[in-house]
Structure 1
Amino acid sequence: MDHGGHGGHEMPSTPAPRCSMNMLWNTQIENTCIVFRSWHIHTKSAFIFSCLIILLLGVLYEWLREAQKNMDRRIAARLSAQGKGKTRAVEESTGTPLPFSDRSIRALLYGSSVFLSFFLMLVFMTYNAYLIVAVVAGAAIGHYIFNPDMDIESVLAGGVASKSMACH
């Protein structure tokens, strides 16, 4: 009887490591999967590397938020210099229409920040204490780097210093 070239002898198979899904706070390192089944952690060094990647993604999220603000400032300054904006917007009680290229860049930055914020939320939802710390530390480091100034007058007038990290 032919057994497909195995000579009739079956080798015992060791079950492959599986992604562990915890719905409770945990500190598991090995067999943790981060968002994708393919991002499967097998070693402590891979876990540390993954934590660094998550931390950098948190920093990137803060950079994207600041890039959006800077882009809006540049567009506003350019439109103001061209005499577009304030007078017409006040008269019509609407915003100033933007050129296609400006709208596209703003949409790309916004979409990227929304994607990244939801991705970091999914990382947070692993309930892994180390990954949660990496997300929060990345946001804090990014905020420190990219938000060195505060609009004191706005805050004293009841405004908010800056928007907190949120999914959307």
Structure 2
Amino acid sequence: MQTAAPPMRRCAMNMLWNTQIENTCIVFRAWHISSTTTFALSCAAIAALGVLFEGLRAAQGVADARIATHLNTARTQKAPSAQDDEAAPLLSSARAAARPGVRVPDALRAGRALLYGAQVFLSFFLMLVFMTYNAYLILATVAGAAVGHFVFNARMDVDAVLAGAGGTDRGMACH
């Protein structure tokens, strides 16, 4: 006696705006939606990824502020060098013009790079979710980003915004 093979699960590929629930695959064939319940759970997971993305961006800002404070403290506590004569300000300003900023130690740069890499990965992943053109998944992505922005961006540097430097918030950019 032969048993019938289980029915093939097929991923629907829509290149147009849609509201399909069942047989939707999200990014991977393994993330196959077979019921309304799994679709609702998937929407919640995608919204959580949107919140996580905003959390990573906020963590990057906190890390940068801590690193800047550490580097500024180290710079101000540094003892004057033997080159401190009348030409030293000219030499240091020429070096600063050639390479602006303070060199960040490799260990701290590695941490910043990991945070940045996680943000880039997550932003591209959410872009792929968006490209399912599924209205519900798009809404879950945007809702997660909005909730994350609300949670992690409670403070504003009013002076920077008024000076025109506060408009660097790129939103949920892919890169």
Normalised to the residue count of structure 1, the TM-score between the two structures is 0.87
SS at match of 1:83: helix
1:40, CA displacement in angstroms? 0.4
Aligned to 1:82: 74
Corresponding position: 1:73 with 2:65? yes
> Given that residues 32 and 41 in structure 1 are in contact (C-alpha distance below 8 angstroms), is that contact kept between their aligned partners in structure 2?
yes
Q: Which runs of 5+ in 1 are unaligned?
A: 1-5
SS at match of 1:37: coil
Aligned to 2:15: 23
1:91-115 CA deviation, whole Å, 9 max, x = no partner?
5131211111100000000000000
> Given that residues 89 and 95 in structure 1 are in contact (C-alpha distance below 8 angstroms), is that contact kept between their aligned partners in structure 2?
no
Equivalent residue in structure 2 for 1:141, among 147, 150, 161: 147
1:54-96 CA deviation, whole Å, 9 max, x = no partner?
0000000000000001000000001111116xx9688513121
Moved over 2 A (4+): 10-15, 87-91
Task: Percent identity, please.
Answer: 56
The count of residues paired between Structure 1 and Structure 2 equals: 158
1:45, CA displacement in angstroms? 0.4
- The answer to which of 68-77 and 147-156 deviates more is 147-156
SS at match of 2:32: coil
Equivalent residue in structure 2 for 1:154, among 152, 157, 160: 160
| Rounded Cα–Cα distance in structure 2 between residues aligned with 1:23 and 1:96 | 47
**What amino acid maps onto 2:46 in structure 1?**
I
| Rounded Cα–Cα distance in structure 1 between residues aligned with 2:94 and 2:126 | 39
> Given that residues 154 and 161 in structure 1 are in contact (C-alpha distance below 8 angstroms), is that contact kept between their aligned partners in structure 2?
no
Aligned to 2:86: none
| Rounded Cα–Cα distance in structure 2 between residues aligned with 1:116 and 1:110 | 10
1:31, CA displacement in angstroms? 0.4
Normalised to the residue count of structure 2, the TM-score between the two structures is 0.84
Equivalent residue in structure 2 for 1:166, among 150, 169, 173: 173
SS at match of 2:25: coil
| Rounded Cα–Cα distance in structure 2 between residues aligned with 1:153 and 1:72 | 19
Aligned residues: CA RMSD: 1.9
Higher RCO, 1 vs 2 (CA within 8 Å, ≥6 residues apart): 2
1:29, CA displacement in angstroms? 0.5
